[in-house]
């Protein structure tokens, strides 16, 4: 009976939006991390990416898992739309780092469209207070839109992967409407 209660509690937790730790208006911590894009090693710098426009930073629990594969594919499919708004997309994870290179290139996942960065021990997720409550060594599924000035414009946290692209695209478009390209 305890097992059934645990499954019910975890299911409810996964279905309920969590509260993103960094709120709108907060300063987003800059970071530099090693990662991959299209299977090739890269170094990603949030400060450098912000110089080009807003950044969509999304944390995901683990590469090559069902929900994370879906989320990566959805972001890959939307990457051109984000680029049209002048936004950069970056995924960050602490889970299954040994699979990150292949995950970044896989046409059913990232398709090489955006970088994914390794976050050993969820250190970056910790700066964003986006660690998974039930497994603190992993990042929660939390997406941020960060302005070029380093301000959190939007935060969305939900273990369900389906709405992260819609949430962040809506926020990027709203930000862009207030800050037209010059």
Q: What is the mean pLDDT of each run of 10 residues along the chain (182 residues)?
A: 39 41 92 97 98 97 94 97 97 95 96 96 94 89 97 95 96 95 68
What is the maximum alpha-carbon separation in the chain?
61
Residue 133 is predicted with a pLDDT of 87
pLDDT given for residue 165 in this prediction: 97
Euclidean distance between the first and the last CA atom of the chain, given in angstroms as a whole number:
61
3-state secondary structure of 138: strand
pTM over 0.75: yes
At residue 134, the pLDDT reads: 87
Q: Let me know how long the chain is.
A: 182
Could you tell me which of 12, 17, 15 has the C-alpha nearest to residue 156? 17
């Amino acid at each position: 009976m305890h097992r059934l209660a645990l499954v019910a509690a975890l299911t409810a937790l996964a279905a309920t939006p969590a509260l993103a730790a960094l709120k709108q208006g907060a300063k987003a911590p800059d970071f530099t991390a090693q990662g991959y894009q299209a299977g090739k090693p890269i170094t990603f710098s949030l400060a450098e990416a912000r110089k080009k426009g807003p950044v969509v930073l999304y944390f995901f629990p683990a590469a090559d898992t069902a929900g994370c594969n879906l989320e990566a594919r959805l972001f890959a499919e939307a990457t051109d739309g984000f680029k049209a708004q002048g936004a950069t997309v970056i995924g960050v994870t602490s889970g299954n780092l040994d699979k990150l290179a292949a995950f970044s290139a896989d046409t059913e996942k990232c398709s090489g469209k955006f970088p994914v960065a390794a976050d050993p021990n969820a250190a970056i997720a910790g700066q964003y207070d986006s660690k998974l409550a039930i497994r603190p060594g992993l990042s929660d599924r939390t997406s941020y839109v960060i302005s070029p000035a380093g301000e959190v414009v939007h935060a969305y946290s939900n273990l369900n992967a389906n709405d992260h692209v819609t949430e962040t695209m809506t926020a990027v478009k709203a930000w862009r409407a207030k800050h037209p390209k010059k």
